[in-house]
Amino acid sequence: MEADMTCPQCGCEHVYPDGSLWNCPECGYEWNPQDSDGTTAGNMAEIRDTNGNILADGDSVTVIKDLKIKGASSVIKGGTKVRGIRLVDAADGHNIACRISGVGAINLKSEFVKKA
């Protein structure tokens, strides 16, 4: 199985295993070969905001309460609107990657945002 493994997204032959997932060094794609379609979108459970709305990549969300930033003296104020979120599958519960002006790139938990 490993000898004929290629990336389902770009067709690269230089893929390598990382635990149960396979990674492509050229395009950065990760997949589980045991899944029938080979996509990671099917692997992630639906990510929902605090009101139960399903979130998708590119959505805009609003932070619902003040969030302290670990290791910094700044705070993300409640009501801050975040545009163009990316959904990630993180083990620590931070399942939204985004960029907030004045703060920079940061990961958020979906339980602290609502869909805008």
Q: Per residue of the chain (116 residues), give pLDDT as tens.
A: 455 788 887 888 888 888 888 888 888 888 887 775 544 444 457 899 999 999 999 999 999 999 999 888 889 999 999 999 999 987 788 999 999 988 899 999 999 999 98
Structure tokens at 65: 């309460």
Own/partner pairs, 89-94, CB within 8 angstroms, 24+ separation: 89/40, 89/43, 89/44
Cα(74)–Cα(71) distance, integer angstroms: 9
Answering whether pTM is above 0.95, one says no
